[in-house]
């Protein structure tokens, strides 16, 4: 059930028995020579929608642009300042809280968002405390990074081993191939996609990872793999966050 | 051409001969008993993509949640504070400007966004001036409210006359029916959907417009009408903003 | 009745039977070779004071500097960032609301302020909603752009036709001549004051409108015209906003 | 010479040989049973204009609402948050600096503004440093609190002794009587106008000073005294800040 | 009693009979060729702790970096923007207020902090008022600048006369020598340490005061003097703020 | 070498051959019935100073109050909003960068700070990019959470096993006992210190962990253990971040 495809009376009925909502967040950033710039929101959105369907939970609007400063040396990348992302998520969650939503599960497709989203949760809690606007039952926010979940990591290892890498990975590319099979891109990949796992700013990132990949080989990706990653991620999210989505 | 379905080398090539990008902005807000909560982004996105295709212009990520304070008495509505929307759009545009984009056309589906988007353009220009970061050629931002364009207004009048109303209108509902034909909702409509055209805050809005419509009769909408609205809007946007999109 | 020329016990008495206040807002910006830099606040202030007198409504302090980024290539122009103007107006209105004022009519003399003032109203409403500080009766804010009102536009057309133009217009200059008859300036005017109606940033504005006028011929202005514009604007404001000022 | 009554070419000529500007700042706050709510801006404006005339210095737009939290228990008082005042003054000064103004003299009529104005100066300097936008010659900002200047204090002591008090003082009321002789108010004054000189928040202020005065007896004020205070303040400002205004 | 060396049950017991807390604030800035960069927080901390001991008042965490823009031309100096310092102090005080602290005494070691700290107090009061979160008894904040207190000034005059100067003074250096006797630095001092008492921005400061001192001769300082300054300051703070610390 | 105990000429000399600085960050929050409220800054400061000594690296001022919203139900706890912490750290780092510091190692004693500090790093990088103020060599920021380092975790496991817990742990308490042996507190501990590892807001935290501990048994701590933790942490930090501190 997507909030965007619902009417307000339908949401009103939903809120008579449920209080959870799922928010997908991604990024708009380079994903190597063959990865789609929208990879992170495409993957998060697909997984979020599937989790919503399995658990009868409403899925709210996505956040398509995240914190991607380190990719800004690559054309087409966009970034929010962390401070903007914090205020954006605050407005999303405060709006939902006003209607009675109490469990907000953010399904995230981009590592660069983790700090800002986590900071946003505490910004929200603290603003509510300072304003004397804490609710009963309390608002609860959880972050789920689908690509870091143990079962997903196991599948990454099984399918790609070390060639999974850290950015523009075959696993995330595979999911986009599964969702957008007509948009599978082919381009030459530098055989040495960087071996570092650390970097500082946007210039340093491009120096270390000239074509945008961090040690990954996205040529391994297939749409079929993508389907498996979606299924694996969804199953694990349902297992780990199912109670939360049910208000437990 | 969608930014999210492109790779960074593709954007790099685009920027060798084009500098324009289209950004759709909508809202997440009630649209009466039968209108989808995502109506404004669905319509803006559909029109933006079609304009992008006709003019070979890149379409960037949408902004699905806008300034919808006045709808907050209806479950499922979400709003950004104007100050958040200004910072959000600033980050979008500043990111794009860094890559060499110089013409940003915001295609907007929601009247409540007009003030904040316009304010954001001047916030951006002023920040660039203050920082001594003006570009050559200059960054230019334009706002296009598809639902207010003369040809669209003429079609609204032709098809629905006064029953078009001001919110949850048959024209916008028709576009969503065209895009999502499986999500056509049916619900009883109060025969007196409010006659006022003004309101102050969110409580006042619901008092004046109890089921969310502002003088509209969305039961008139059909998917076929929706297609006509998209075509009409796109043609007029191409006519009016085509030169801008070509950097003229 | 001017707030600045009143005492607090006088305001206390006023609030026993009235809840309205008028706030003039202008700008500090070039108005062509002969127009005063303070034109927009001078006109708004004069009209606001006259409306106040006719309707027995308190007139609060003006906002003399507005959003005038696009005039910054002309010496003496000043601008607020939109974000600053939003916070400024928020503080004005929140202060007044705390005393029981409930209707705030902003009389505006500058087109560049419209977006920011409108955004500010929603920022205010939304802050009150988020803080659980909505009042009964509700706070209501209205914006009146005197120079765009139909009767004023008719008089502009009658007196000046197309030579009214869009900035540094004879109508606004006339009002300043009426208010400050000793400050009528004479200077050569470029016979081609620009014909565009659009522009982007401050540099673009000066390129299109080299002496600051937008298609206007302020040499047509007379103090007598100015008096007519004030009277016309005041009459129409009283007609359109009189009920609002009376709390209806 | 008032900026608001000048044209941009006049300012352009001024800037060929002068770089100074005077900005008056006041407050919109209760001044006891007989003092005008606009007292602080009326006095600052009058003195600023006279200093401008004596020194051929341009006088810019005033700031009529200042930091007056502690007066908010009295109807009609308005306040900016300090953070808003800092941003407001930042925008004023940054605008002027862009045109080549280099000496900004803020003539202040309200003690409550001192901290925020001083903080704003450093916010401005620091923003310029951080942005690498320091100018040559450097921007310089000075604050002048006319009511605290030694010669003014001597006259306060001479005319009123201890009955000068600390707020709603006869000296400032006298200046408003001189400027607005038709607005001299008469009202009963509590014979015990508070003797404290300290207070914390707005509630505490009203408890300590029930009618708004802080130990003052404004019934001593006369328009003739007001003229003397203006002349005294102006002479001292010229003596102390004259070099600064001349760019020395 | 230091908050940092207490447990929460100890604080809970303290709050059953006391409501006061002391916060030291300093700066991280150059103090001439021989003064420690941490001078201002070292002095404030030492005095605050001694006041705390004498009056059985809890001493909270210090603020080691203050507003020191004007020292930024000297290596090692650090500064907060005034706007940051306001928000920082707001969060400190709001946190304490939530537990029932009602009297906050800020003991300050740096003149450059005065404006921002004072502005912060009003920002706090105004935020509480706007949010409807005023407490009973009210929150009260006081600022004490130890180095400006009359008895301290008398001792400065007695010991050093004019050679006390205005920055990197022997009195503050003496206190650091008393606290850190192993860190007494010796370096050549320019015999002409500047005679101005005013300055504008960071560049101007260094031009006027090339080695960082403002007319001072810190070579006069001794640890024994430092002890006397601490004792003098503490005695006067107890005398002047003792009632406040006891909630009177 | 502590910045606070250095003079500006000493820092100037340091910067001729080194560019690194260490910043300790902690928190002011409850640490169970026996843990000091300043535990996190005490531990971070001690470890930072030792790392500074071993590597001849300058240690800057600490941040004693961090993000501790979840502890606000316990008296004495203080918190910054994440947005404040981001701006605070931005000002710290921007100040240091202006002097030529290029490597900033933040040694952190509190898990609740991780998100905000990480967000701050990207806020800083992004502000520099937007302002066109990137440096050569680039500014680099790294975060080190001493209590999560593998060797520290191994020692926690070796000494305490599961009784280490997650908050108010014996390991951090031990370090404070080592640093402040006279401040070892004894108090009854609830035998069931909570078993959950998750929580949402401040109220939820206290419900789950009534005396403030998260599954820990701080009664196991000894000063001798504390010394081992400091040595272990320091050794590992030197091993892992030594190159960074040397600008490699």
State the nearest Cα–Cα gap between E80 and chain D, in angstroms: 9
- Cβ separation of F28 and E187 shorter than 8 Å? no
Determine the pLDDT at residue F225.
Answer: 98
Of C89, C105, C27, C117, nearest to B119 by C-alpha is: C117
Instruction: Flag whether pLDDT at C248 surpasses 80.
Output: yes
Residues of chain D positioned with their CB less than 8 A from the CB of B132: 131, 133
Interface test with F, best of D126, D130, D131, D133 (most F CBs within 10 A): D130
Interface size, chain D vs chain E, as Cβ–Cβ contacts under 8 Å: 108
Residues of chain C positioned with their CB less than 8 A from the CB of B128: 201
Determine the pLDDT at residue C200.
Answer: 92
Determine the pLDDT at residue C183.
Answer: 97
Q: Going residue by residue through chain D (248 aa), what tens digit of pLDDT does each one get?
A: 999 999 999 999 999 999 999 999 999 999 999 999 999 999 999 999 999 999 999 999 999 999 999 999 999 999 999 999 999 999 999 999 999 999 999 999 999 999 999 999 999 999 999 999 999 999 999 999 999 999 999 999 999 999 999 999 999 999 999 999 999 999 999 888 777 888 999 999 999 999 999 999 999 999 999 999 999 999 999 999 999 999 99
In 3-state terms, what secondary structure has residue A141? strand
Q: Average per-residue pLDDT in chain C? A: 97
Pairing outcome for strands E58-59 and E103-108: unpaired
Q: Nearest-CA residue of chain E relative to F98?
A: E72
Residues of chain D positioned with their CB less than 8 A from the CB of E86: 82-83, 86, 119
Report how far residue D71's alpha carbon sits from residue D211's, in angstroms, rounded to the nearest whole number: 11
E198 pLDDT band (50/70/90 cuts)?
A: confident
Determine the pLDDT at residue D184.
Answer: 98
Q: Nearest-CA residue of chain C relative to E133?
A: C131
Non-local CB neighbours of A240 within 8 Å, separated by 6+ positions:
A144, A149
Report how far residue D145's alpha carbon sits from residue D155's, in angstroms, rounded to the nearest whole number: 15
Among A3, A10, A41, beta carbon nearest to B4: A41
Say whether the C–F interface has 3 or more Cβ pairs within 8 Å: no
Non-local CB neighbours of A56 within 8 Å, separated by 6+ positions:
A1, A18
The CA-atom distances, in angstroms, between E150 and each of A237, E144, E162 are 67, 12, 16
Instruction: State the chains in contact with C (3 or more Cβ–Cβ pairs under 8 Å).
Output: A, B, D, E
Q: To 10 degrees, the CA torsion angle through E205, E207, E210, E212?
A: 0
Mean pLDDT of E17-37: 98
Residues of chain B positioned with their CB less than 8 A from the CB of F131: 131, 133
Q: Nearest-CA residue of chain B relative to C113?
A: B119
Q: For chain A, what percentages of helix, strand and coil (3-state, to nearest 5) are there?
A: 55, 10, 35
Interhelix angle E114-130/E82-99, nearest 10 degrees: 50
Q: Using CB atoms within 10 Å of the CB of residue E192, give its burial: 0 to 12 exposed, 13 to 18 middle, 19+ buried.
A: exposed
Residues of chain D positioned with their CB less than 8 A from the CB of C60: 28, 78
Residues of chain D positioned with their CB less than 8 A from the CB of E114: 115, 118
pLDDT tens, position by position, E73-125: 999 999 999 999 999 999 999 999 999 999 999 999 999 999 999 999 999 99
Three-state secondary structure string covering C124-184: HHHHHHHCCCCCCCCCEEEEEEHHHCHHHHHHHHHHHHHHHCCECCHHHHHHHHHHCHHHC
Instruction: Flag whether pLDDT at F167 surpasses 90.
Output: yes
Model confidence, pTM = 0.98
E194 pLDDT band (50/70/90 cuts)?
A: confident
- Cβ separation of C7 and D31 shorter than 8 Å? yes
Residue A23's H or E segment, with its range, is strand A20-25
Instruction: Flag whether pLDDT at A143 surpasses 80.
Output: yes
In 3-state terms, what secondary structure has residue B198? coil
State the nearest Cα–Cα gap between A140 and chain C, in angstroms: 18
Q: In degrees rounded to 5, what are phi and psi of residue C19?
A: -130, 5
Instruction: State the chains in contact with A (3 or more Cβ–Cβ pairs under 8 Å).
Output: B, C, E, F
Q: Using CB atoms within 10 Å of the CB of residue C186, give its burial: 0 to 12 exposed, 13 to 18 middle, 19+ buried.
A: exposed
State the nearest Cα–Cα gap between B54 and chain C, in angstroms: 24
Determine the pLDDT at residue E223.
Answer: 98
Report how far residue D1's alpha carbon sits from residue C173's, in angstroms, rounded to the nearest whole number: 19
Of D120, D98, D26, D18, nearest to D68 by C-alpha is: D26
State the nearest Cα–Cα gap between B27 and chain A, in angstroms: 9
E contact set with C (CB within 8 A): 129-132
Determine the pLDDT at residue F195.
Answer: 77
Q: Which domains does chain C have, with CATH numbers?
A: 3-241 (3.40.50.10310)
In 3-state terms, what secondary structure has residue B54? helix
- Cβ separation of D131 and B130 shorter than 8 Å? yes
Q: Going residue by residue through chain B (248 aa), what tens digit of pLDDT does each one get?
A: 999 999 999 999 999 999 999 999 999 999 999 999 999 999 999 999 999 999 999 999 999 999 999 999 999 999 999 999 999 999 999 999 999 999 999 999 999 999 999 999 999 999 999 999 999 999 999 999 999 999 999 999 999 999 999 999 999 999 999 999 999 999 999 888 777 888 999 999 999 999 999 999 999 999 999 999 999 999 999 999 999 999 99
Neighbours of A55 (CB within 10 A): 20
For residue A203 the two structure tokens come to 């210039």
Determine the pLDDT at residue C123.
Answer: 98
Of A184, D136, A129, nearest to F200 by C-alpha is: A129
Residues of chain C positioned with their CB less than 8 A from the CB of D124: none
State the nearest Cα–Cα gap between A106 and chain E, in angstroms: 27
Instruction: Flag whether pLDDT at C154 surpasses 80.
Output: yes
Instruction: Flag whether pLDDT at C192 surpasses 90.
Output: no
Report how far residue C107's alpha carbon sits from residue C167's, in angstroms, rounded to the nearest whole number: 18
Interface test with F, best of B131, B134, B139 (most F CBs within 10 A): B131
pLDDT tens, position by position, D164-181: 999 999 999 999 999 999
Determine the pLDDT at residue B37.
Answer: 98
Say whether the A–D interface has 3 or more Cβ pairs within 8 Å: no
Instruction: State the chains in contact with F (3 or more Cβ–Cβ pairs under 8 Å).
Output: A, B, D, E
Instruction: State the chains in contact with E (3 or more Cβ–Cβ pairs under 8 Å).
Output: A, C, D, F
pLDDT tens, position by position, A180-227: 999 999 999 988 877 788 899 999 999 999 999 999 999 999 999 999
Q: Average per-residue pLDDT in chain F? A: 97
Interface test with C, best of D95, D120, D180 (most C CBs within 10 A): D95
Mean pLDDT of A27-31: 98
Gap between the terminal Cα atoms of chain A: 20
Q: Using CB atoms within 10 Å of the CB of residue C108, give its burial: 0 to 12 exposed, 13 to 18 middle, 19+ buried.
A: buried
Of A231, A217, A173, A206, nearest to A70 by C-alpha is: A206
State the nearest Cα–Cα gap between F67 and chain A, in angstroms: 8
Of A101, A45, A63, A69, nearest to A205 by C-alpha is: A69
Determine the pLDDT at residue A65.
Answer: 98
In 3-state terms, what secondary structure has residue E100? coil
pLDDT tens, position by position, B119-165: 999 999 999 999 999 999 999 999 999 999 999 999 999 999 999 99
Residues of chain F positioned with their CB less than 8 A from the CB of E10: 76, 185
C194 pLDDT band (50/70/90 cuts)?
A: confident
Mean pLDDT of A45-72: 98
- Cβ separation of C79 and D95 shorter than 8 Å? yes
F197 pLDDT band (50/70/90 cuts)?
A: confident
Q: Nearest-CA residue of chain B relative to F132?
A: B133
Interface test with F, best of A81, A84, A201 (most F CBs within 10 A): A201
State the nearest Cα–Cα gap between C36 and chain D, in angstroms: 5
A247 pLDDT band (50/70/90 cuts)?
A: very high
- Cβ separation of B119 and C201 shorter than 8 Å? no
Of C30, C214, C44, C28, nearest to C143 by C-alpha is: C44
In 3-state terms, what secondary structure has residue F53? helix
Mean pLDDT of A92-110: 98
pLDDT tens, position by position, A154-186: 999 999 999 999 999 999 999 999 999 999 999
Q: Nearest-CA residue of chain F relative to E183?
A: F5
Q: Is the dihedral of CA B80, B86, B87, B90 positive or negative?
A: positive
Say whether the C–D interface has 3 or more Cβ pairs within 8 Å: yes
Q: Which value does ipTM take for this structure?
A: 0.97
Which regions of E77-163 does DSSP assign to beta strands (E)?
A: 103-108, 140-145
Interface size, chain B vs chain F, as Cβ–Cβ contacts under 8 Å: 8
Residues of chain A positioned with their CB less than 8 A from the CB of F118: 114-115
Among A70, A83, A141, beta carbon nearest to F86: A83
Report how far residue F245's alpha carbon sits from residue F240's, in angstroms, rounded to the nearest whole number: 10
């Amino acid at each position: 059930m997507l909030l965007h495809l619902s009417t307000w009376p339908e949401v009103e009925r939903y809120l008579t028995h449920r209080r959870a909502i799922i928010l997908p967040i991604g990024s708009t950033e380079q994903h190597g020579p063959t990865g789609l710039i929208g990879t992170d929101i495409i993957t998060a959105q697909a997984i979020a929608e599937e989790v919503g369907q399995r658990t009868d939970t409403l899925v709210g609007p996505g956040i398509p642009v995240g914190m991607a400063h380190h990719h800004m040396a690559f054309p087409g990348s966009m970034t929010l300042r962390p401070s903007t992302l914090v205020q954006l998520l605050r407005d999303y969650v405060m709006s939902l809280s006003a209607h009675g939503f109490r469990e907000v599960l953010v399904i995230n497709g981009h590592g660069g968002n983790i700090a800002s989203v986590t900071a946003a949760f505490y910004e929200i809690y603290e603003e509510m405390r300072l304003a004397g606007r804490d609710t009963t039952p309390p608002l609860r926010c959880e972050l789920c990074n689908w690509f870091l979940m143990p079962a997903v990591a196991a599948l990454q290892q099984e399918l790609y081993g070390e060639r999974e890498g850290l950015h523009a990975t075959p696993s995330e590319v595979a999911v986009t191939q599964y969702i957008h099979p007509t948009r599978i891109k082919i381009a030459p990949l530098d055989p040495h996609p960087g071996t570092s796992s650390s970097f500082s700013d946007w210039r340093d990132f491009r120096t270390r990872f000239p074509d945008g990949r961090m040690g990954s080989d996205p040529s391994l990706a297939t749409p079929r793999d993508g389907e498996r990653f979606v299924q694996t991620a969804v199953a694990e999210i349902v297992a780990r966050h199912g109670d939360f989505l049910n208000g437990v």
